[in-house]
């Protein structure tokens, strides 16, 4: 098999939470373009179905959209069961569902803090737990968690988000150790600033935009396809020896 062929995902099944928009959708598109079947999980099935139809039209990929909230374990169990009933396996897990709420700590409502932790950290944990059982039985899997530059550095007002993403990175490292004997790799993509639906509103503020750009050595925000290509590499058989890694896609922010 040529090295290029190892990047193909023909016949593989990718289970992607938060796959209806933003970085999740970009990663779903990249994997579909490489031949993967998709399971797009979103809290809003109509959004997931729209994303799936758009991706299928562009790539010819087969798939399904499932409505589930990653904060609720029973819904994750149900989504995984539906995916296995349809495709019989899950080869790739991408935990892209996430939220970011910003307040100084003294003004941070407790329920909003818990929502960020429940979505970003618990949601990643429960998806890994449920899908991981299946991967352990098959002794194969590619797990891609989504951290952030705030997994290792921080910005004022991000106590919830930074705490959750720091936790995701440590979860990734621990699972890489637990699952190495089963042939499952677990790696964490840590994006810097991308103009996604989650960030678009704050980037409209010229002062905020200038702050972020001044901290990016490459002097620009990330493009969606730049996350998709990395996710494809981590999901493919071109990357069997990397596990427990944090890969920063941040224009050089964390290199400063």
Q: What is the DSSP letter of 223?
A: P
Whole-angstrom CA distances from 168 to 97, 203, 237, 246 are 12, 25, 24, 10
* Catalytic position from the list 140, 161, 182, 241: 161
Handedness of CA 191, 197, 202, 205 (dihedral sign): positive
Task: Give CA–CA dist 122/10, Å, rounded.
Answer: 31
For 63-205, strand residue ranges (E) read: 63-67, 92-95, 141-146, 184-191
Active site residue 182: no
Left, alpha or beta for 203 (phi > 0: left; psi -120 to 50: alpha)?
alpha
Q: Is 32:62 a contact under the CB 8 Å cutoff?
A: no
Q: Is 187:143 a contact under the CB 8 Å cutoff?
A: yes
Task: Give CA–CA dist 40/14, Å, rounded.
Answer: 8
Task: Give CA–CA dist 16/144, Å, rounded.
Answer: 9
Nearest alpha-carbon partner for 117 in 151, 165, 169: 165
Q: Which residues does the annotation mark as catalytic?
A: 161
């Amino acid at each position: 098999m040529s090295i290029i062929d190892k990047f193909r995902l023909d016949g593989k099944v990718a289970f992607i939470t938060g796959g209806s928009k933003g970085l999740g959708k970009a990663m779903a598109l990249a994997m579909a373009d490489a031949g993967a079947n998709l399971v797009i999980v979103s809290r809003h099935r109509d959004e997931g179905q729209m994303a799936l139809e758009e991706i299928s039209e562009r790539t010819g990929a087969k798939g399904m959209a499932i409505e589930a909230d990653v904060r609720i374990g029973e819904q994750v169990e149900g989504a995984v069961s539906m995916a296995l009933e349809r495709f019989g396996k899950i080869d790739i897990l991408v935990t892209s569902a996430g939220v970011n709420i910003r307040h100084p700590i003294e003004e941070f409502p407790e329920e909003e803090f818990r929502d960020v932790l429940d979505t970003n950290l618990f949601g990643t944990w429960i998806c890994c737990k449920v899908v991981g059982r299946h991967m352990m039985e098959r002794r194969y899997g590619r797990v891609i968690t989504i951290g952030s530059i705030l997994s290792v550095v921080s910005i004022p007002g991000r106590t919830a988000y930074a705490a959750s993403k720091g936790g995701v990175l440590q979860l990734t490292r621990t699972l890489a150790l637990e699952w190495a004997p089963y042939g499952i790799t677990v790696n964490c993509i840590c994006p810097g600033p991308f103009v996604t639906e989650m960030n678009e509103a704050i980037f409209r503020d010229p002062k905020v935009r200038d702050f972020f750009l001044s901290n990016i050595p490459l002097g620009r925000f990330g493009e969606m396809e730049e996350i998709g290509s990395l996710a494809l590499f981590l999901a493919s058989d071109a990357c069997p020896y990397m596990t427990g890694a944090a890969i920063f896609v941040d224009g050089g922010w964390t290199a400063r």
